[in-house]
Amino acid sequence: MKNIFFIFSSIICINCSNNESTKKNSNVDYSFDNILGYQDTLFIKSRFADCGEWGGHNELIKIYSFENKMKLTYTTYKIDCGVRDKSGSITQVENSIKNKFLSHDDKSSLMKYINNLMKYKFIRNEFGNSGNTFSIEDSKGQLKLSQYGNNGSLLTNYNDLMKNLGFPNVIVKNN
């Protein structure tokens, strides 16, 4: 009888200690503010297949610390599929630049975009000569994530981010 009491008491103690460790682990503080290190910059780069296998226009989101706040600079480029540089690449001409300080909702949207892009890495890679490219990297080389393809979820994820940040959706024009 003493053995049964001892075993029963041990099981209760183990269960209680497991519940405590689970509670401690679930209180992790996820914040977009934690992604940038000292004097670090986050780049969200996109290249669209407006010109098929030759590529297309680029867009760049640059996030950095400015006066103790997170600031975003969004740059779009325009292209003419028939105009190339000496190396044969499509010439990118800066089209517009927009700046804004990030709100809490903006930061949440950026976290969602990055999380989704990471999830898409588990989708089977597409093979082809034409597709959109989405990448995230920091200036210190500690973060690098890239995804290529024509999967509609990639463009939808990017357009959701654009909408939430107050920027226009991207429409890929195949010329």
Helix, strand or coil for residue 85?
coil
Sign of the CA dihedral running 11, 12, 15, 21: negative
> Which residue, among 72, 76, 74, has the nearest Cα to 95 in the 3D structure?
76
pLDDT 10s digits, 19-44: 555 555 567 777 787 788 778 899 99
* Domain locations along the chain: 32-165
pLDDT 10s digits, 79-137: 999 888 998 889 999 999 999 999 999 999 999 999 999 998 888 776 777 789 999 99
Q: Model-level pTM? A: 0.79
